[in-house]
């Protein structure tokens, strides 16, 4: 069974392939040319030459389709390119449509009709070479085949991924801890234990017992690690990664360094109590050195989620000199909420109020 050759990855590569292929078919390796440069008027002709034993120019219109444009060669497009080619000077004898589109009987029939019409007007002949036809020509010309397969084998392969917490992880589960605090009111007691914390508003908090000279730790903040890895076979240079957070949180950023930017260009993009939304939560990671093949960079971030079960989506996009790619990570939030009761002492009976309950950050002392 005949093996199908891979199609070129972009239209520039396809144009170069056509030049190499028809230089062999026409036997004019040193006389075939690409027509001008990108952006210039080409009159429908990308590659041209006078084939061996011919007297006038033949022209090729290279139409890259399918894999990278997700489109097909159309009748309207054919008509437009034919009219353009009529303005090419000197006058063409043959005008070829070379396309990466697969063979299509309706388009082939339309080309035959246009060919007859055009020759009846004493104009150029029109031919169509679909990808299967081009593969036949490549396999008939061993030098072109070797050139094409070699260039595909050693072509730079860029790729990049971002993982969360561990390699291959595109999701992470965070379990922040919160208090569901109920405040009960009572008349102030005349006895006082200095080892039990008492706030300025008279609330007794037994969780602060013996907290003097101890470190305050919030269990509501969650840490996770972002891993940026070059998964291709080519070094990525002049690059940066933009991140955008979809969802709400009270804090997102570099918790340990306050509001200062760290070595990775990360700053706090949400501060406690802000509950900023998607469009505002953006930050970048910019590297000063190339990211070589299979190497990775990782850094820690902190998030203070809202005290509810939800998900936060972290969108990322790498922008490099020769490469760009987008992706997303998912941060699932399943908070653990612990009930606690605090007592607020008041001076007078009429200051006693109904109990109040609220969810708040869980802080411990170590």
What pLDDT shows up at residue 68?
45
Architecture per CATH, domain 158-366, reads as: Sandwich (2.60)
Q: Is 11-153's fold the same as 158-366's?
A: no
Which 3 state secondary structure label does DSSP give 337? strand
Q: In the chain, where are the structural domains located?
A: 11-153, 158-366
* Per-residue model confidence (pLDDT) at position 91: 94
pLDDT tens, position by position, 151-179: 765 556 788 999 998 878 899 999 999 99
Residues of the chain with pLDDT under 50: 1-3, 68-69, 194-197, 199-200, 257-280
Return the closest-CA partner of residue 283 out of 243, 240, 253: 243
pLDDT at 9: 77
Q: Output the pLDDT for position 273.
A: 43
Domain 11-153 has CATH 3.10.20.440: no
d(CA 156, CA 151): 9
Contacts of 245 (CB under 8 A, 6+ apart): 252, 269, 270, 278, 281, 282, 312, 313, 314, 315
pLDDT score of 116: 97
- Sequence-separated (6 or more) residues with CB below 8 Å from residue 342: 181, 182, 183, 184, 203, 204, 205, 206
pTM (two decimals): 0.51
Distance between CA atoms of residues 243 and 252, nearest Å: 12
End-to-end CA distance of the chain: 72
Angstrom distances, CA of residue 96 to CA of 65, 88, 165, 306: 16, 13, 54, 63
- Contact yes or no for 128/94 (Cβ under 8 A): no
Q: What distance in Å separates the CA atoms of residue 50 and residue 333, rounded to the nearest whole number?
A: 68
Using one digit for the tens of pLDDT, what is the confidence trace for 125-149?
A: 999 999 999 999 999 998 898 888 7
């Amino acid at each position: 069974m005949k093996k199908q050759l891979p199609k070129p990855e972009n239209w520039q590569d396809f144009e170069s392939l056509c030049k190499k292929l028809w230089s062999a078919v026409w036997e004019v390796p040193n006389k075939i040319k690409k027509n001008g440069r990108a952006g210039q008027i080409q009159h429908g002709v990308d590659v041209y030459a006078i084939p061996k034993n011919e007297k006038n120019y033949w022209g090729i219109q290279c139409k890259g389709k399918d894999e990278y444009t997700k489109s097909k060669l159309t009748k309207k497009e054919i008509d437009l390119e034919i009219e353009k080619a009529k303005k090419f000077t000197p006058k063409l004898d043959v005008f070829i449509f070379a396309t990466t589109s697969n063979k299509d009987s309706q388009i082939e029939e339309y080309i035959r009709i246009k060919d007859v019409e055009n020759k009846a007007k004493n104009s150029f002949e029109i031919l169509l070479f679909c990808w299967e036809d081009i593969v036949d020509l490549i396999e008939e010309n061993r030098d072109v085949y070797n050139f094409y397969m070699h260039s595909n084998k050693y072509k730079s392969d860029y790729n990049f991924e971002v993982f969360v917490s561990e390699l291959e992880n595109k999701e992470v589960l965070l379990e922040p801890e919160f208090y569901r605090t109920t405040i009960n009111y009572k008349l102030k007691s005349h006895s006082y234990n200095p080892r039990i914390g008492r706030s300025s508003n008279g609330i007794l908090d037994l969780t602060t017992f013996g907290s003097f000279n101890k470190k305050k730790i919030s269990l509501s903040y969650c840490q996770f690690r972002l891993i940026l890895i070059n998964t291709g076979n080519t070094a990525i240079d002049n690059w940066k990664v933009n991140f955008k957070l979809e969802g709400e949180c009270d804090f997102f950023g570099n918790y340990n360094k306050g509001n200062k930017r760290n070595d990775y260009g990360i700053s706090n993009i949400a501060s406690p109590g802000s509950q900023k939304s998607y469009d505002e939560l953006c930050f970048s990671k910019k590297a000063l050195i190339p990211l070589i093949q299979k190497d990775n960079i990782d850094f820690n971030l902190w998030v203070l989620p809202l005290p509810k079960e939800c998900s936060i989506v972290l969108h990322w996009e790498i922008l490099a000199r020769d490469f760009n790619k987008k992706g997303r990570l998912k941060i699932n939030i399943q908070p653990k909420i612990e009930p606690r009761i605090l007592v607020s002492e008041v001076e007078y009976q009429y200051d006693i109020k109904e109990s109040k309950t609220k969810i708040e950050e869980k802080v411990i002392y170590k």
